[in-house]
Amino acid sequence: MKQLLIRNTLAIRNTLGIALFILVSLASCTTTTIDEFRQGETGIESNESVVILGRRQASDYETRSEFVSCVGERMNRGDGAMRIIPEQEFVDAMFPWFEPRTAPLRTRDLERLMTEDVVADKMTEFGVRYIVWLDGFTETTDRSGSISCTIGPGGAGCFGFGSWEDDSNFDARVWDVGSLTNVGTISTDATGQSYLPALIIPIPLIARVEANACSRLATQLKEFVNGS
Amino acid sequence: MHILDVTTKGLSRKIVLLLAALSLAACGVNNVVIQGSFPTPNINKLPLSVAVYYDTALTEFSYIEYSETGSEEYNIASGQSHVELFNAVLPAMFDTVIVVESMEEAEARGVDAIFAPAIEEFQLALPSKTKLDVYEIWIKYNMRLLTAEGDYIADWVLTSYGKTPTESLRSVEAAINEAAVVALRDLASSFSLSFTQVPEVRDWLNTL
C-alpha cells in the first residue's frame, strides 16, 4: 500500500515535471520571419552615421521609442557596428522638422526638406548617411485562462492558468541621405505564446517576442547598411 | 499572548487607516501639472521686434476632466508650460522678443507687433473611455497679432494634437503629461512653420 502511494506520488511529480518542461520549451519558442527588399546599393564610411526614427503618424498606435532605442543599441555594438544617433537627440536638434506632423513621409519630402539650409547643415553636422524609419507595434491576442489569488490569516496563494499570444510587426525603411532615395525595406514578424501557470505562486513563462524582433531586425539592418 | 493581541490591534488599525486613505484618494481629483522641456526651433528669424502678452487666462489655464459619474477626475494645469513653450519658440522666430505685462506696456515699447495667444479649447481622451491603447490631447488656440497701437493684423485658429501609448508601469498622470508635451511640441512646430503662411500675416509682412 505504502509502495503504491510512493509510486503514485512519483508519477504525479514526473507528470508535473514534463508539463513544466513542455511549458518552458513552448514559452521560449518565438517564431521570427525577416523579409528584405533591396532597391539600391548601400555602404557606410567610419565618419558617417545612421539615425533610427519611429513613425508616429498612425491614429491608433505609435512605434514605441523603447523599440527604436533597442534596435539602435544593437546596431551600435558587435561585428559591423556603426555610429547611431539617438532618436530624441536628433529630433530635438532638428526641431521642428521631424515632429509627427512635419516629418517627411516620402523621399521627395526629404529632398524638399534638404533645401532648407538649417536642415542640411544639421545633417552634415551629424554626418547622417542613412535614415531608418521604423513603423510597427506589438499586439497581444488570444488571452485565455484565469488565475485567482486568495489572502487569508494562514497565508496567500494563487491558482489557475493564463496564456496569451504576442505578435510584433515592424517595417524598417532605409533612406540614403546622400542620394535622397529609398534603398530598401526590411520587415520583421515575430510571434510567440506566453504562459502564466499559478500553483501557490505564479510562474511567468514569457515569450520575448519584441526583444527577438528587435535583435533580428538590428542584425539584418546592420548587414543591409554595411552592404554585405 | 498579550503581545500578539496588541500587534493584531495595531495591524487592524493600520489596515483601517490604509483603506480610509485609499477611499479618500479615490474620491479626490488628481492634479497634473504639465512639465517638459522644449527645444529651440531651427528656423530662419524674421527681422521683427515683437512684444508677447500672456493674459491670466493663458498663464493660469487648467482643464478639468470629469469621470462618467460627473465627479472631477483630473485637473490638468498647462498654463506655465505654454508660457515656457512660447518663450523657447518666439526668440527663434523673431529678432527681438519682449514679454510685457499689459497691452498698454506693449504699445509703449515701440515694437513692430504684439502677439497674444489664447487657449480656446482643451480635450483629453483617456484609454478607459476610448478603448484605444493611447492617451490623446487636443488643444485649440486663437493666435492674435496686433500692431503696436493695438490694431488688428491677424487672428487665426491653430490646433495641436499629442498622443502617447499606454504602458504597464506608467501612471495615468505621467501618460497625460507626455501626451500634453507632444501636443505642445506639435503647436510649436506648426506655429513656427506656418506663421508666414497665414494670409493676413503674409500681407502685413509685405507692407513692411
* Residue B80 included in any domain: yes
* Residue B104 included in any domain: yes
CA-wise closest residue to B130 among A59, A118, A226, A92 = A59
Confidence check: pLDDT of A203 > 50: yes
* Residue B90 included in any domain: yes
* Residue B4 included in any domain: no
Domain span at residue A136? 2-226
B170 CB near a chain A CB, below 8 Å? no
Domains of chain A: total: 1
A19/A27 Cα distance (integer angstroms): 12
Task: State how far residue A207 is from chain B, nearest Cα, in angstroms.
Answer: 17
Domains of chain B: total: 1
* Residue B20 included in any domain: no
Q: Is A69 exposed, middle or buried (0-12, 13-18, 19+ CB in 10 A)?
A: middle
Chain A residues with beta carbon closer than 8 angstroms to that of B43: 96, 118
Q: Which residue of A has its CA nearest to B130?
A: A60
B39:A95 CB<8 A = yes
**What does the pLDDT look like over B101-160, one tens digit per residue?**
988 888 888 899 999 999 999 999 999 888 888 899 999 999 999 998 889 999 999 999
**What does the pLDDT look like over A111-144, one tens digit per residue?**
999 999 999 999 999 999 999 999 999 998 888 9
* Residue B2 included in any domain: no
A95:B163 CB<8 A = no
DSSP of B148-183, one letter per residue?
TTS-EEEEEEEEEEEEEE--TT--HHHHHHHHHHHH
Report the CATH number at residue B196: 3.40.50.10610
Instruction: Please name the amino acid found at residue A48.
Output: E
Number of residue pairs across A and B with CB atoms under 8 Å? Answer: 52
A96:B134 CB<8 A = no
Secondary structure (3-state) at A119? helix
ipTM: 0.78
Q: Which residue of A has its CA nearest to B188?
A: A96
B145/B148 Cα distance (integer angstroms): 10
Report the CATH number at residue A82: 3.40.50
Secondary structure (3-state) at A40? coil
Region B5-26: mean pLDDT is 53
Domain span at residue B52? 29-207
Task: State how far residue B30 is from chain A, nearest Cα, in angstroms.
Answer: 26
Angle between helices A65-75 and A209-226 (to 10 degrees): 50
